[in-house]
């Protein structure tokens, strides 16, 4: 329950056994179903965070970076394309009594030079509103580029929709030298903007098992992948 002396925008999220408090302002997005799924996947594999150096690509409100620290990450660097969003993420870290090592304004994975090798890459890649002709661009780029960020044995954890083509992602992970497993899976109703995003539904119809229709409602499946870079 929110008390009267807390900002009206403060929202609390429970990812067992952690409560994370988030204030939203400016360009920061409210956590989406993809974001909820990723967080629920994270708490199912706490060992991959414990004592690890982590980078989150596209941190948004900071909810996943904060959770990574609560799960025992040794350090975390966050990135976002917007300084305003990074400032929101830093304020949310303070709200939860944690801190990031660095908060960089970076354009996706375009680091030059790469700051260091990390033990874990964390990401919730854009898809429906990717802003690119190929909506999968960010997923493919994440898989191929994240290898630059880690040594063998490093982890990549991310969430995606069935509409983004699970078999294609799994083939790309294998080609990039990762072994992978699904650590969390959930199904849910389409978000309203799926129906207003030009071409999205028709593109999704071309993906095998991209979505279901149950009682005249459109349903997507979300999966959280944990990928480990092979030696």
Q: Please state, in angstroms and rounded to a whole number, the distance separating the CA atoms of residues 36 and 29.
A: 13
Query: CB–CB of 96/13 below 8 Å?
Result: no
Q: Whole-angstrom Cα distance, residue 31 to residue 37? A: 10
- Tell me how far apart the alpha carbons of residues 14 and 80 are, in angstroms, rounded to a whole number: 24
- Strands 53-57 and 75-80 turn out to be parallel
**Residue 27's pLDDT band (boundaries 50, 70, 90)?**
low
Cα–Cα distance measured from residue 155 to residue 58, given in angstroms and rounded to the nearest whole number: 17
Per 3-state DSSP, the chain is made up of helix, strand and coil in percentages (nearest 5) of 30, 30, 40
Average pLDDT estimate for 130-143: 95
**pLDDT-based confidence at 31, cuts 50/70/90?**
confident
Cα 153 to Cα 120: distance, rounded to the nearest angstrom: 9
> pLDDT of 222-231, one tens digit each?
999 999 999 8
Handedness of CA 227, 55, 220, 205 (dihedral sign): negative
- What would the mean pLDDT of 38-66 be, rounded to a whole number? 97
Q: Is 60 exceeded by the pLDDT of residue 7? A: no
What are phi and psi for residue 199, nearest 5 degrees? 80, -5
pLDDT band at residue 114, thresholds of 50, 70 and 90? confident
Cα Rg for the chain, rounded, in angstroms? 17
Residues 156-177 pLDDT 10s: 999 999 999 999 999 999 999 9
């Amino acid at each position: 329950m929110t008390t009267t002396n807390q900002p009206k925008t403060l929202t609390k999220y429970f990812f067992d056994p952690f409560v994370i408090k988030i204030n939203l302002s400016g360009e920061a997005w409210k956590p989406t179903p993809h974001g909820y799924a990723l967080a629920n996947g994270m708490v199912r594999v706490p060992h991959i965070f414990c004592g690890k150096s982590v980078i989150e690509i596209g941190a948004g409100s900071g909810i996943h970076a904060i959770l990574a620290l609560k799960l025992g990450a040794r350090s975390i660097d966050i990135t976002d394309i917007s300084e305003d969003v990074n400032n929101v993420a830093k304020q949310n870290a303070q709200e939860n009594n944690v801190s990031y090592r660095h908060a960089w304004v970076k354009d996706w994975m375009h680091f030059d030079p790469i700051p260091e090798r990390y033990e874990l890459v964390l990401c919730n890649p854009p898809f429906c509103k990717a802003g690119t002709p190929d909506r999968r661009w960010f997923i493919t780029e994440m898989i191929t580029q994240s290898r630059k960020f880690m040594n063998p044995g490093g982890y990549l954890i991310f969430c995606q929709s069935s509409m983004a083509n699970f078999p294609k992602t799994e083939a790309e992970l294998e080609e990039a030298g990762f072994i992978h497993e699904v650590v969390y899976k959930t199904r849910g109703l389409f978000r309203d903007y799926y129906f207003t995003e030009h071409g999205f539904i028709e593109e999704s119809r071309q993906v095998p098992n991209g979505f279901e229709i149950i009682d005249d409602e459109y349903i997507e499946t979300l999966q959280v992948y944990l990928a480990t870079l092979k030696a």
